[in-house]
Amino acid sequence: MAEPECVGQPDAVLLAPLTEDTFLHNLHVRYKHDIIYTYVGNALVSVNPCRTLPLYSAELVRAYLARPPYQLPPHLYAITATAYRWVRDRNESQCIVITGESGAGKTEAARVCLQCAVVAGERGAELTAAGTLLEAFGNAATARNHNASRFGKLLEIEFDFKGEPVGGHITHCKYIHQPTIFDTSLSALGFIRLHTPKERVCGGVLDGERNFHVLYQLLAGADVHLLKRLRLKRSWEYYRMLRGAVEEGGGASASPRRAPPQQVAPAPRAAAQDRDHFAFTTAAMRALGFSGSECDAVLRLLAFMLKLGNVEFEPQHNIDGSIGTRVQHQYGQSPGRAPPRAARGPCSRRALVCAELVEACALVGVDADELAAALGAPDLDAPRDAESSEGSEETGACSSPESSTESWAGALRDQLVSVLYSRLFTWLINNVNAALHPRTPGKRCAIGILDVYGFESLASNGLERLLINYAAERVQAAVTAATLRREQDEYVREGLAWRPLHYTEHELHAELLDAGPDSVLGVLRDCSARGLGDGAFLQRLQRRRHPRLLVLPPDHFQIVHFGGAVVYSARGIVAKNRDQVCRRCCGVLGAAREPLLAALFAGALERACGGSPRRPAALACRQRALVGALVRRLPPAPRLVRCLRADAALRPHRFDAALLRHQIRSQGSVPYDPYLLPSRAVYGTGS
C-alpha cells in the first residue's frame, strides 16, 4: 500500500511550522485524496470519511505485521501491529485508547484494531463474534451518529508466548444497571416521569434516533414462524419503544380528541441491513457457545420487552374515593378506531382487555394478574387467552385523561423494561467473558482496546448525557496527563532543555465533575441520598461559583467540558439518579417460569419479602466507580488514536474546518510542542 506522492505529510510532526492551521490544512489535503490517517508522533489521527473506503483487507494486515512502522503509510493496522510486536517480542502489555466525539468513528476504529490483533489464532473468530454481539445489544442511533455506543468497554486480548490470541476479557461501563428497589406504597405524586435518552430502551426515541439495534434486527430478520412464536408483528411502528415520538404523560395514551403524535422515521438504515445483521448477531451467539435454549430465551425476553412497552394505562376511581390506574383496554393497533362489530358488548370488551400484557406474560411464564396489580392495575378477572389474539389487525383505544397516576404507572412500566434490558446486557457480558476465558491457566500479556463514550451535546441533555460526557472527560484527562507526564519526565532524566508544559487543564475539567462533595456528581449523590429535590441541587451548584459552571434558571445548568459548553436539564435529575424501580414488579419477574428471566431477578423475590434492605448505589456513584476502574487499568504509556468527524451531518466528501478545529483544540490532537510527541523506535525490535 503506497500513498500518492506529494499528498501532505504522513506525520504532522514534520510540518514546519507545526501550528493548528498547518495541521488542519494537512488533514484537508490528505482527506481530499481519501487518505484519512495521519501520524502525530506515535499517535494516530483518523478523520471519519462517512463512507466505505477500500482500506482494509487480510493481506494488508499481514503486510503491516511483517514490516516495521513508518515503512508503510499511517494506518490503524500500524498502531495495532506495533502493539502486537511489543507483546510478542518484549512481553509487555499494551493498550490502544480510542477517543473522539460521538460520530467520529470510534466504534469502527475499535473493530479494525480487533480484526488486526486476532488475524492469526484459532480464537480470533470468537473475539470477533464478541464485538458483533455487543454492538447489536449495546449500540443505537442518535441524531449525530447512526451507530453510537451506549456503553464503554475495554476489550483485553490475551496472547500466549507464540503471539497467538488465546482468550480475552471485557470490562464494560454501562450505568443503566442494578437500580434501587422501592415499595409501591410510595406516593404516586412523588414519582416523576422522565423522558430522556437514558431510558432509550423503554420510553420511545427522539426525532431521528433509533433504539438499540437488536430490537430492529429481530423484527426485520426473524422468519414468519419465529415471529408467530414470539407473537410479534413485522413493522417496528407497532411498538412504542421503537417509534420516533414520545407522548406526554408518562405512557398514557393520547385523548381521541387530539391528533396522535406524528411518527418520525428512525435514523437511515435499510430493513435489508437489519435483516442481514440479525443473521450476524445470531451467528455470533452460536460462535460464542450460547446454546439453542439460551438464544431462544434471549429472543423471548426481547419480545416480552417490546410487548410490555405497548401496555398503557387509564385512571380508575376506586370504591373508597381514591384514584388508581388500570391497564387500558386495547383492540389492536390504530388509536381511536372502534372495535370490530363482533367484539362489541360488555363480554367481548372484557375479553379483549390487555391483550398485549397477557401475550407478553405468556411468553416468559409470568402471572399477568400479579404483574398488572404490581403496575398499578387491578387483577384481570378474565384475561384473554394468548392464542386467541393472534391475527387481530383492527384496533381501538379508549380515551384516557392525563393524570399523575397514569404517569406513575407508565414510569413503573418503563423502569421495569429498562432494568430488564440492563440486566440482560450484563448477563450477555458475563457469558461472553466465560466463553473468551483462556482454556489454560497462567499470566499472559494482553492488548487492550479501550472504546468509551464519545462527547455529546444535543438539543436536549439530561443525566445520561452528563454521565456520558463525564466518562469521556475522565478518560481524556487520564490519557493526556499520562502522555505529557511521561514525555516530560523522560526529558528531565535525559537532561534535555525544553519549555515545561502544564497539563492540568483537562484534569481541572474532570475534577469539577467528581472531585469532592462540592463537585457536580458529589452534590447529585448527596441530594439523592438525603431525599432533596432538583431545586436544592441547583441551589448547591449555584453556591459553588465555579468559572466553568453556570446555573440557568429555572431548571438548567451549563458545564464547560473539554469538548465545549453543554447545557443540561435538571428536571427530575435527582429522582433519575436514584434509579428506583418497583420492588413488587421485580418480585413478580423473579417468580417467572422462564429460567433466564427468573435468574436475572433471582434476589428480587427475597427483597420483596423484606430481606436485603441495603440500597444499591445511585447512578452517579456506579458510573464513577466503573469509569475509575477503567482508568486504573490503563497502562502508563497507552497508544493513542484520535478520531475526528469531518461533518456534523456525517455526509461524505465534506470537510468542516470549523468543526475540526474545535475537535483539535478540545482533544489536543496538535502537540503543545513539536518535540513533545516524537517518533520512537526501540532498537532491535523494529517497533
Q: Which letter, b or e, does each residue of 400-409 get, where b requires 16 or more Cβ atoms within 10 Å of its Cβ?
A: bebbbbbbbb
Pick from 8, 20, 44: which is nearest to 677 by CA?
A: 44
CA distance 8 to 2: 14
The per-residue DSSP string of 5-24 comes to: TTSS-SBGGGSSS--HHHHH
Pick from 359, 418, 365: which is nearest to 227 by CA? 359
Bridge partners (DSSP) listed for residue 557: 551, 568
Widest pairwise Cα distance in the chain: 92
In the sheet with 564-569, reading across from the earlier edge strand, the strands are 549-552, 556-561, 564-569
103 among annotated binding-site residues: yes
How far apart are alpha carbons 557 and 48 in whole angstroms? 31
DSSP state of 54: S
Strand-pair partners of 449: 96, 155
Cell (9 digits) for 409: 404507572
Q: Treating both helix axes as pointing N-terminal to C-terminal, what angle do 213-221 and 292-308 enclose, rounded to 10 degrees?
A: 110
**Host H or E run for residue 517:** none
Please, which residues have CB within 8 angstroms of residue 75's CB and are 6 or more apart in sequence? 1, 37, 44, 55, 60, 64
Sequence-distant (6+) residues with CB within 8 A of 169 are 155, 156, 158, 433, 436, 437
Does the N-terminal peptide bond of residue 554 adopt cis geometry, omega within 30 degrees of 0?
A: yes
Q: Which helix (H) or strand (E) holds 119?
A: none
Query: CB neighbours (10 Å) of residue 385?
Result: 12
User: For residue 239, what are the CA distances in angstroms to 342, 356, 360, 685?
Assistant: 26, 11, 13, 57
Residue 104 known to bind ligand: yes
102 annotated binding-site participant: yes
The answer to whether 196 is annotated as binding is: no
Q: Where are the beta strands (DSSP E) in 306-437?
A: 313-317, 323-327
Radius of gyration of the chain measured on its C-alpha atoms: 27
- Cα–Cα distance, 303 to 369 (Å, whole number): 19
271-287 and 292-308 are packed helices; what angle lies between their axes, rounded to 10 degrees?
A: 140
> CA 48: distance to chain centroid?
20
- In the annotated binding site, the residues are 100-107
- In the annotated binding site for ATP, the residues are 100-107
